Structure formats: C-alpha cells, structure tokens
Structure 1
Amino acid sequence: MGASGWSYFVPYEADISAALQRLREDVFARGDYATAEDTIAAMDWEAAAKQNLEWAKNPELPPKTRESYLAAASDYRKRHWAQVLAPKQPPAPKPRSIDELLDQEGAEGTHSILDIRSISPKAKVGAISPFPPDKLRRFFPSGMPSHAEIEEVYEFGSLEKYVSKRWRGIYIIAYNDGKPDEIFFAGCSGD
C-alpha cells in the first residue's frame, strides 16, 4: 500500500508528550486508523483492470507499453477473481489497546499517529520531534505561527521534506494572540 501522511491539531498543553499520548488515545477510540484488513478490502482489482485495458487501447503509446498494460489488466483480473472467490474470513477482533493494535499490524503500521510512540529532541524512527527553530523562522518569520499559517504552509506542500520520512513526524506550536493555542502534529507512517 505504501506509507500515508497524516496531520492533526490538538489543544495546546505544555507537556507535548502528554498531548501526543492523549491524541493517540483519541485516534484509537475513534478508530481513525487503517489496518491490513482494511487495505485488502479496499483493493478494487476489477477497476484497475478496466483502467489498464483503456490505456492499452491508446494507439499513440508504444507497442511494448500497450502490452504491459494488457499484462497488468490480466493480472488484476486474476487478483479480482481470487478475492471474490476466496473464502470469507470473519473480521479480526477489534484490538483492546493501542499496543495490541500495533502488534496486530506489525510492519504495516496503522497509517496514523498511533505508529508514533514518543517525543524526541531530534528526528528518529517512532518519534515526533520539534520542527527545527531555524526552519520555523524560514517558514514563519514571526516564530509564532497561527493555525491558519501552519495549515496553509502544510497544505501547499512546503513541509513535505520534513514530514515524509516514514515512521516519524514533527510538531509545531500554533499561536493565537501571541499565546500557545494548539499543537500541530504531522508525519508519515505505514507500509
């Protein structure tokens, strides 16, 4: 499936680690994460096959490219029928805790903040770290960005370099009237 990016704003509290753990508990309680079971159920192999057949009809493409689209369509059709004809398994029981969920998902992860367990002063796997102060001033000259400013810079893709390394993330304090108001968490996880 590949990794997924995620972002959240939460109310500010001075203890960033406590805010992170509270967010993780909230995300878990809402079920706002992906499981390997969800990923398999979401595969629409028939649609992928049809799309590849359409691409294979394009006379402007080189013959080898068209052949590769036909081969992919055939493969996707086989996968579709294997999925349709496979014996239906009962859904896995809902995990009772974040740790149980993470054990269940293994290397696939949850594609959410649940994959991040701690705060670290420097970027490291499995942790959120503060956005570097020199970079903060580059994107937010005041050094005290608002929710809207952070959101705009994030949505524009300017923070991509800092939030796209798998299994880690950053946090930025958002300000309102010169006072800390929210914490922005963003990162990337899952496989």
Structure 2
Amino acid sequence: MAATIWQYVVPYEGDFDAALDRLKAEVFASGRFHWCGGPRPATIAEVWADDIEHECGTHSILDMFRVQPPNEKPKSFTVSVVTPEEVEAHLGHSRPTVEFAALLDDLATTRWQGRCAVLYDEAGTPTSLRFWGASGD
C-alpha cells in the first residue's frame, strides 16, 4: 500500500497542539483510519504501541505526534506550521482563506510529515486550521 494524502479543517484555536489532539481524538473515535491487522486499538496510545502498525501507519492524522514550532527543522511524525513567508510565496499574500487553502498542498511533500495553516475569513479573522500531509506505507 502506498502513502495516503490526508487533510482536515477544524475550527481555529490559538493552541495548535490542542487542536491536533482534538482532531486526533475525533478521527480515532470515527474509526476513519487504516489498521494493518488484528484487533483495532482501544485508545490512541495503543496505535503506536503496535510495532507492525508503526511501520504501516494509519494513513491519517493519527500518524502525527505533535505540532512543532516554525523555527524547527521538519521531523517525521510531526506537523510543521506554515510560515507567513511560505504563504506569501505561494499566494501573494499571507492570509489564506478556505477557498485557496489547497494551493498550499505542495508545501507538504514528505511522507510521514504534516503541515498546518491558519485560514482566514474575508475580514482577515482566523476561522480555521487546516492540517494536511501524507503518511502510511
């Protein structure tokens, strides 16, 4: 099985790690993730306790552990926040809206890594967080 590209849009909150944790809880509860075999886990913690699953991945946001600060080099199993400079380079402005969020997709090109961007309404108010990336094997 090849990697799966995934994306999610959630309501904005300033604490990206809290937003990631809430999103992971929603995805886990919904069962919308790949499981290599055997009984499905009862908790999110059990997802990564399984060595086979660690190699296979869930093909979802569950494969991401945390949101890392923009000044850190991207690492596997983490989500990197898109910088205003990256948004400016792709869109010509630094406040993407939901309608143009997909234009940022090519900022997430490495398997086992994710990205996160703040999305704004027409008045420039943050409304959503978009998480996207690719994981799984």
Alignment TM-score > 0.5, same fold: yes
C-alpha RMSD of matched pairs (Å):
1.4
Instruction: Choose which of 87, 96, 100 in structure 2 pairs with 1:149.
Output: 100
Q: In the TM superposition, what is the alpha-carbon distance from 1:101 to its structure 2 partner?
A: 2.0
Distance 1:20 1:189 in 2: 16
User: Which residue in 2 is equivalent to 1:7?
Assistant: 7
Whichever residue aligns with residue 108 of structure 2, its letter is: V
Match status 1:118 vs 2:69: no
Give matches, 1:28-67, under 5 Å. 28-37=28-37
Is the Cα contact below 8 Å between 2:85 and 2:94 reproduced in 1?
no
User: Which residue in 1 is equivalent to 2:48?
Assistant: 102
Deviations 1:148-174 (A, max 9, x none): 1113x15xxxx33x2121111111100
Deviations 1:80-138 (A, max 9, x none): xxxxxxxxxxxx33311112123231210100000001011231111101113322101
Distance 2:34 2:40 in 1: 12
* Greater strand share, structure number: 2
* Greater helix share, structure number: 1
Match status 1:138 vs 2:89: yes
User: Which residue in 2 is equivalent to 1:128?
Assistant: 79
SS in 2 for 1:183: strand
Q: In the TM superposition, what is the alpha-carbon distance from 1:3 to its structure 2 partner?
A: 1.2
Distance 2:129 2:91 in 1: 15
Q: Unaligned stretches of 5+ in structure 2? A: none
Q: In the TM superposition, what is the alpha-carbon distance from 1:33 to its structure 2 partner?
A: 0.5
Match status 1:175 vs 2:120: yes
SS in 2 for 1:22: helix
Is the Cα contact below 8 Å between 1:5 and 1:163 reproduced in 2?
no
User: Which residue in 2 is equivalent to 1:163?
Assistant: 108
Q: Unaligned stretches of 5+ in structure 1? A: 38-91
Whichever residue aligns with residue 22 of structure 2, its letter is: R
TM-score by length of 2: 0.89
Alignment length (residue pairs): 131
SS in 2 for 1:185: strand
